[in-house]
Homo-oligomer: A and B are copies of this chain.
Amino acid sequence: MSVSTVSKALNDNGRMAADTRERIKTLAAQIGFRPNALAKGLLSNRSFTVGLLTNDTYGRFTLPVMAGISEALVDHGVSVFLCAIEDDPALGKIHVDAMLDKQVDGIIATGKRVDRSLPVDLAGLPVPVVYAFTKGEPGSVTLTSDDRHGATLATEWLKELGRQRLVHITGPREFVSAVERAEAFRTVAGNGAPVLHGVWSEAWGHEAIDRIWKEGGERPDGIFCGNDQIARGVADALRERGARVPGDVSVIGFDNWEIMAAQTRPPLTTIDTNLKELGREAGLMVLALAEGRAIEPGLRRLPCKLVIRDSCGGGRQQN
């Protein structure tokens, strides 16, 4: 029995007697034969491997994205190298070099914000690159979640619940996503609706409420927060001031960071950014590019999703 016959039998290739094929297959299964992916890759120029580059230390973004990528690619026999490069250009280069040495079929670059790029240059690489939640070079394929859409969803939900005096408490102006969410908020809530920029922390949520209360003007009855941490700070601060959530004030977050949103008192209604789906798309795209299929370059914004818990009142289920 020659090597080539076996190969053809196992891959359903070439002409051969049906029973020979069967015989080979069962025998191979019996002895637990595993084709060596290295040899296969050497020949086919495909390693069935992609690299995932990230500078997200806590993995709040990375892990869901990673899960999506992996889920999409495992069906195609593709495995994922995860490389955390922090913000270290040298480390980034080392990891990219290692990926290239290992003949990855493509690279997915992820970060924490779409208006900053990773500390490593991925232009002109011999393999396709897809950017997710991080800035790519001009003409690249980039994925992010649709901040305007999410913010619109959130603000409309507050209005739908009958809230009139809306406020947006969010992160720094330097973040494009903060700005876009704020713009969408004002589009829905009215141009005069107040927007407070601060940092992305719980403490800032407290402080913002403190500031609003001290100002003494009309108090808001609906607060859209730039992320779940701020929302948590806001919810706590309101409770401490005797304002009931959601009785007196509806609070809505952003990110649907489970572990944060679900443990807040009350559990946060928030906007899910569909990170897993984003990962899945990124995986399929890099795979398509690796196989030579063309992908229209440019920035793709994936829709968000309203997740209803208790912090806004209401309770109509959405999907």
Contacts and interface: CB of A to CB of B under 8 A. Distances in A.
A203 B66 contact: no
Interface string A228-270: 0100000010000000000000000000001100010000000
Interface in A71-101: 74, 77, 79-84, 91, 94-95, 97-101
A201 B39 CA distance: 49
Interface residues of A, number: 47
The CB with the most chain B CB atoms within 10 A, among A38, A91, A99, is that of A38
Contacts of A74: 91, 94-95, 98
Contacts of A263: 201-203, 229
Given A42-B36, A47-B38, A103-B37, A83 B70 contact: yes
A103 B41 CA distance: 12
Interface in A40-59: 41-42, 47-49, 52, 57-59
Interface in A194-240: 201-203, 229, 236
Top 3 closest pairs, chain A to chain B, by CB: A59-B63, A82-B82, A59-B59
Given A60-B259, A66-B84, A203-B263, 7 more contacts: A35-B101, A38-B103, A39-B42, A48-B102, A58-B259, A63-B63, A70-B83
Interface of A: 34-39, 41-42, 47-49, 52, 57-60, 62-63, 66-67, 70, 74, 77, 79-84, 91, 94-95, 97-103, 201-203, 229, 236, 258-259, 263
